[in-house]
Structure 1
Amino acid sequence: MPGTAIYTDLSGYYDLMCADIDYRAQSHCVHRLQKLFGNGGNRHLDLACGTGPHVRHFLDAGYQSSGLDINQPMLDRAALRCPDARFSRQDMCDFTVGQPVDLITCFLYSIHYSAETARLQACIASVHGALATGGLFCFNAVDKHTIDNASFVAHDANHPDGLFSFSSGWHYAGAGEQQLLKLRIERTTAGQSQTWHDEHRMVAVSFAELSELLQPYFDVHVLEHDYEKILPWNGTSGNAIFACVKL
C-alpha cells in the first residue's frame, strides 16, 4: 500500500496499532511543559491528531482542545471520541486557525510526515502563525544520524476481527533529507493470515538542523525523550522532545 492508504483502509484498527502507547503520560508531560514554559493559556491544537486520544486527555485536563489531520476517517473517529472538541481536515504544513492558540502539539514523531525540509519549514511557520504570544509548540523527533535500520518495535493485540501483529521501524539511507517509516501489519483469523506492508516517506533531519529551522521563530528547549521526567537532552540519544516557545 503506497502513501497513507493504510491509514484509510485500516483506520478502524489504528487504535490497536497504537495500543502500546501511553497517551496519558505523553499528554500529562506536555501539560507540565505548558506550565513550565508556556503562557498559561488553555487553547490547544493537536497536529496529525489521528483518532483523537491525545485530544481526549487534554479535554479532560480542562483545555479547549482541537485537532487537525489529513485523513477524514481518522477525524470521524476522533469526533466520536471527543464530541466536545473541534476537528478539521487540514495539512499541518499549511493550516490556519480561527483564533490564536496557546499550545500546539504533534505527537508520535508525526512532525516527520512533513516529508521534506521545505514542507517542514512551512509547518514551523504555520505553527508560529497560529500560536498566541508566548505560546508553546511541543513535539518529538528522531535524529537521522542515530537511526538503526535493523531496529524495530512490535506488539500483538486481540480484536473480534482477529489477532493483529504490528511492527514498525525507521530506515535512513545515510544521506539526504528522506527517511522511511516501515510498517507491517498481520491479521490472523480462523487460521488464515493477511499481511499489509507500507512505507511512509518522512523528512530526515539531525537535531542540529531541526534546531536551526526552529530558532528564527522559537526559544528552543531540547529535552530527553522521557515522559515521566523533564530533563535536558543528553546530547547523544537519538530521540528527543522539543519544547519551543514563540518569540
Structure 2
Amino acid sequence: MSTNALYNDLSGYYDLMCADIDYPAQSDGVRRLHQLFGRGGRNHLDLACGTGAHVRHFIDHGYNSQGLDINQPMLDVASQRCPEAQFTCQDMCDFRFDQPFDLITCFLYSIHYSDGIEKLRSCIQSVHEALASNGVFCFNAVDKNKIDNSRFVGHTADFNGSSFVFRSGWHYPGQGEKQALKLSIQKTTDGVTQAWHDEHPMVALGFEEMASLLQPYFEVHIFEHDYERIEPWDRHAGNALFVCVKG
C-alpha cells in the first residue's frame, strides 16, 4: 500500500491515530517562541497541517491561520474543523503564496516528509520566500544518528464500535539520507481484525546538517523538545525544536 493510499483510506481516523498528542501544549509553546523571536504579526501558515488541529488552536488565539497539505481528504476534515481558515493542497517542498507570513510552522516531525536533502533544501527555500522580514519558521526534527530502530510508541482507541491499535517508530539503516517512519494500524470490529502496515520514506540528517542547510537563510536556534519550557538543546537528545528567524 502506498503512503498516500494509507492516509486516504484512514483520513477519517487520523485524529484517533494522533489522540495522544497534546495539540494545545504544542501550539502554546510555539506561540511563546514566536513572541520571543518574531516581529509580532499574526499571519500564520501550518505546513503538513493534516486535519487542522494545530490551526484550530492558533485561530482561537487570534492568528490569521492557513494550512497546507498534500492530502486532500485531510484538508476536507480540516476545513470542517476550521471553516474560517483557508486550506491549500500543495507540496510543502515547492509552494507559493501571494502574501507574506509572520509565522510558518511544521509540527509532528513532518519536515522529514521532504524525501531527500534536495527536497528539504527546496522546502527551506520556499519557507524563506513565504516569510516576511523577521518572520519565524518553527518545526521539530529527529537526529538520524540518535534513532533507536527497536523503539516504537503506540496507543489504543475506540470509535464507532471498533477498537484501534496504533504503533509507529523511526528506522534508519545507518547510512545515507533516507529514513523511514514505520506505521502499523489494527482495527477490530465484531471480532474481525484488519491490519495496515506502511513505511513512509523520509529525509534523514543530523542536527548539524540541518543547521547548515538553514543558516544561509535564517538565524537558527535549537531548543530542547519540550513545548512547556524554553531550554537550549543539550546536544545529546535525539529530538529538538528548531526556531529559524528570517533576517
Normalising by the smaller structure, the TM-score range is: over 0.9
Aligned to 2:85: 85
**Take 2:168 and 2:234, find their aligned partners in 1: how far apart are those partners?**
25
1:49 aligns with 2:49: yes
Deviation of 1:5 after TM superposition, in Å, equals 1.3
What is the root-mean-square deviation in Å for CA atoms of aligned residues? 0.5
Task: Output aligned runs, 1:181-192, within 5 Å.
Answer: 181-192=181-192
Kindly provide the CA deviation profile for residues 160-180 of structure 1, in whole angstroms up to 9, marking residues without a partner as x.
Answer: 040000000000000000000
Aligned to 1:15: 15
SS of residue matched to 1:40: coil
Kindly provide the CA deviation profile for residues 2-60 of structure 1, in whole angstroms up to 9, marking residues without a partner as x.
Answer: 22211111100000000000000000000000000111100000000000000000000
SS of residue matched to 1:129: helix
SS of residue matched to 2:219: strand
**Take 1:38 and 1:123, find their aligned partners in 2: how far apart are those partners?**
20
Kindly provide the CA deviation profile for residues 54-76 of structure 1, in whole angstroms up to 9, marking residues without a partner as x.
Answer: 00000000000000000000000
Kindly provide the CA deviation profile for residues 137-166 of structure 1, in whole angstroms up to 9, marking residues without a partner as x.
Answer: 000000000000000100000100400000
Deviation of 1:98 after TM superposition, in Å, equals 1.9
Question: What is the identity, as a one-letter code, of the residue corresponding to 1:139?
Answer: F
Conserved? CA contact 1:164–1:187, under 8 Å = yes
Identity of aligned residues (%): 65
TM-score normalised to structure 1 length: 0.99
**Take 1:165 and 1:4, find their aligned partners in 2: how far apart are those partners?**
20
1:241 aligns with 2:241: yes
Aligned to 2:73: 73
SS of residue matched to 2:98: coil
Aligned to 1:137: 137
Gaps of 5+ in 2: none
Q: Which runs of 4+ in 1 moved over 2 A?
A: none
TM-score normalised to structure 2 length: 0.99
Aligned length: 247
**Take 2:161 and 2:211, find their aligned partners in 1: how far apart are those partners?**
44
Question: What is the identity, as a one-letter code, of the residue corresponding to 1:243?
Answer: V
